[in-house]
Structure formats: C-alpha cells, structure tokens
Chain A
Amino acid sequence: MSKDAILGAIRRGLKRGPLPADQRAMLDGRLATHPRHLIPQRSRVSRPEQVALFVRNVEKEFGSVTRVADAKDIPGAVADYLAAQNLAPRFVLAPNPELQELPWSDKPMLEFEARRAQPSDAVSVQHGYAAIAETGTLMLPSDPARPTTLNILAETEIVVLRASRIAGAYEEAWDLLRAERTDAVTGGFMPRNVMLVTGPSRSADIEQTLELGAHGPRRLHIVLLDDDPAARSADDPTARSANDPAAPPTP
C-alpha cells in the first residue's frame, strides 16, 4: 500500500524506524502548544495605532474603509457606499444575527436577502470575524452565518467589522478562533474554510502588471464599527491609552 511505502521510504532516508514514543510525545506537545515564532514589530503598537495600521494597510491594498461610531449607522454607511459607487441598492446579506439585527428599515431603499451568495448577486454584505493589522487582512471563517460564497461571487463585497476584533498579528487572530470556536464535526476549532482576505481580487498575469478585478470581488469595502474605547483614534481625548501595546484584543 502506498501509505506504508511512502512512510517506509521516508524512514529509510532518515535512517531510522518509526519514532520512539518519547519523541512522538515531544512532537505531540509541540502541536498542542503550537509555539509562536518571531512576530514582526510593525503591529506591536498601541490599540489606536493598530486600528490605524489596519486601515492604512487595507487602503494600500486597494480596499476602502468607512468608520462609524454606532451600529445604527451601519445601514446608512452601506447605502452611502453603494450610491457613491453608482451601484443598485441591492445585496445578499450574511445570515448573521449581528447583521440581521441592524436597523436596515431606516434605509428603506435597501433591498436584501439573508442567504448564501448566487452568481447573480452583484453586492454582498459579509460579517467580519476578525482582522489583522499587520497586513490589513480580514479573517473570514466559514459558518452557517458566514457563507464562503459571499467572499467570492459578488463584484462588490462589503464587510462589517468591529474595531475590537482587529488583532495586531495573524497569531492573535488564530488564538481568537482557537478560543471561541468548537467544530461540531472534529471537536477542534477549524471550520471547513478560513479565508484571509487582503484587498480586492487582482491579477498580474498579463505582462506582470497589476490589474484589479480578476475572479473575486473588484471592490472590497469595510464598514468599521468603532466599538473599542481603547482603539479610538490617538487624538481623541476620550480614548484610554493602551497600557500593554502587545496585548491582543479582548475576544
């Protein structure tokens, strides 16, 4: 059988048999503790600076961000963005309680259905699980309330994200997933799919020249809800300064 042949060939190359129990235990320990390696300094900054770094990186990668102070302003921010882009006020919404509870009826011209995306959907409004300031990256784990198709089928994807969910480094975002999620099938934390999304879709396959809008969304817009008092802008006097710049965001 191929499995035994491959494992046998590896062991012959390494000039040993199967690993002894103590070494297996050591490797199991490494898997269980999943130690972090070096984390670049760029995200080791205060909370307001982490949020600012996230926004800067999203914009560097050709995404856009609107910041809102209150959840009730989110429908308005979505409506304004669609109008500014000259897009019809119609979208598919992630069937996520946090999004469904928003006061959409304040903006009666907005039409939406809460479901997975279909190829005919031009705009999707997705729920942002977490984000990574280091590179302006969204973490979008699949879930009945966060279908993957919303990230890939529509030409325009709008992601609603809480500022409190912006982590500095990828490792901190993985820890959120590890702490918060239990998978019904595996008992582990990984859902079927986790997408890390950094800006809108693009290709450089034609003469190595970057063009936006390949197969995924042409536009990626983030509506950022400033729900984290510690993360308000540094020049906001009501903002509390972060004591531990390396502290991960509270889940």
Chain B
Amino acid sequence: MTTTEAPATPPDVRHRIATTGARHTLGRVLVTLARSIAIFVPVFLVATFVTFALRSLSGLSPARIQLGEEATPEAVARVEAQWGLNRPFLVQYVDWLGGVLHGQLGTSWTNGADISTLIGLGLGVSLSVAFFALIIGVVAGFALGTIAALRRTTWIDRAITGFVTVISVMPAFVVGIVLVAVFAVGLHVFPSAGYVPAAQGVGPWLAHITLPAVALSFDVIADVARQLRTSLIAAYRENYVTGAIVRGLSPRRIFFGHVLRNGLGPALATLGLKFPTLVGASVVTEWIFGLQGFGRFANDSAQAGDVPAVQGVLVVSIVLVVVFNLIVNLVLARVTPASQRGV
C-alpha cells in the first residue's frame, strides 16, 4: 500500500533518492544514444554498400576519363589495375570502407586530388550556409508560430498563416534570384556571389552567406511555424494548462514552462526531417550564389563521372543526416519524456 502514513525517512535514504533522479535522466539519455547508434550502424553499412556498388552498376571507369574513348583494351586494363579495380568486388569494398572509417575517401579520378580534402573545403561553405539557414528558419519560424498560436483566430494569426503558406511554396532558386536582384544588384547591401571563410573576418563571412541562407530558410520557416502553431494550440487545450492556471501561475510562466515544453516536440522532429532537404537544396543555391560548396562539388563530380568523389559525397551526406537526427532525438528525449514512451 503506497498511500498509508509515512514513517520518518532517514537522511541517507533521502540522499539516495535524490541521486536516483539524476541517474534516471542520464540513463534515459544513454538509452536514447545507444538506440540511435544501434540504428545508425546498419543504416551506415547498407548505405555505403549500395554507394560502393554504384561503380560496378554504372560501368564507369577511370580509364575512360584519363585515356578518352579511343583507348585500347590493354591500356584500359592497365589503368584499372593501377586503381585496383581488377580485384574482387568485396575486397575493394572492405578496403574502401576501411579508408572511410579512417576519414580517407580515396582519390579523384579526374585530377588525382584527395577527395576528403576537396569535400572538406566545400563542406565549410555549405555547412555555414545550411546552419545559418537553420538558425534563421528556427528563430523566424518559432516567432511566427508562437505569435500565431497566442493570437489564434485573430487577424494576426490569419496574416501569419497566409504569409507562411505563400513562402512555403516558393522554391529556393526563385527566392535566391529575387534576393540577388533586390539586395545585391538593386540595393548593394550584400555581395551577389562568392564566399569568404570566417577566418578572414566574421563580417564579410556573414555578408556572403546571408542571401543564400535566407533563400534556403523559407522552407524551414514555413514548416517550423506551421508545426509549432498547431502543436501549441493543441497543448493549450490540455487540462494541465487549466491545472497550472488554478494553481495561480502567470500566463508567461504557463507558456514557457508548460505549453512550449510539450508543444516543441513535433517542431523539433520536423527540423530533423528538414536538414537533409537543406543539404540537397544547397546544390541549387550554390549555383545561383556562385559558391564552391558541397552541393556544387557533388554536381560537378556526378557530371564528370568521378565515381569515388560521388561516393565520398554520399558517405558525408549520410553521416551528416544521421548525426543531425541523432542530435534532434537527444534533445527530444530531454524535452519530452513522453516521446520515449511512444505517446
């Protein structure tokens, strides 16, 4: 019977129970981490295997790039032997995977450069833009979604919902071109193209990535705002809000302490889905803004038939997406224990 008169609890028992609470939280985070990694490993293996099989399936060969169409079969065989392509498929895969695990993505067929270095250069540009877009998207989407939820069914809510619907259907390349025309060509506020690393000054760096980031962020703003509005309104209908009101908590406290905490889950989960889209959409924006980024590199490699480079791009994309989702899962586990119970 749990509800009978309690005997006085000794102090050491109190201490034990207090630490149990902390261990409880840590345990939950560790379980989430372990579960995510358990999913990550098979996903990574299958995805890399499919990625590596691309070369055999496509029939592309470094010999064709280096020697042209007129090469003799002997010359082709010689070049392929140099690249180790005459070995059995599984041996090649294990060899390549070993390199991948050590951060070595191989050598480019077109120029013999180290692919890890090439991707590293492009990734700095792309991640700067993607994360800036993510920040803009989260801040603006959060503000719009929250205001719409707090002023639900008023003209403010309708105006925000309308605006969000409009920007959600505007493709990044259209937005990008309009932004260049208005802010770079028309107003001369931002540079129209190019990239300056953060090491050469934060100001110029921000100036160069602002327009592409804004162009990419529209989609994130729309999704976060709509998701947040819906889940906040649903959370406000819950009885625990009435409970908090009768306990005399202020509206501000109820919003930040109770409603937001439970309404944040779906919006965070949306962000996890949004990140791969951001990486994908960067191909288009990098063309418009003349950035030598990851997306541009992927595009160029694919067009040149540079299979190791494309494989490297895919491996990095897989890692990026999975790691980002892992982070989102951990944050979700921290914010809402309910997500752990599948509720």
Please say whether chains A and B are actual partners in one complex: no
| Chain A residues engaging chain B, CB cutoff 8 angstroms | none
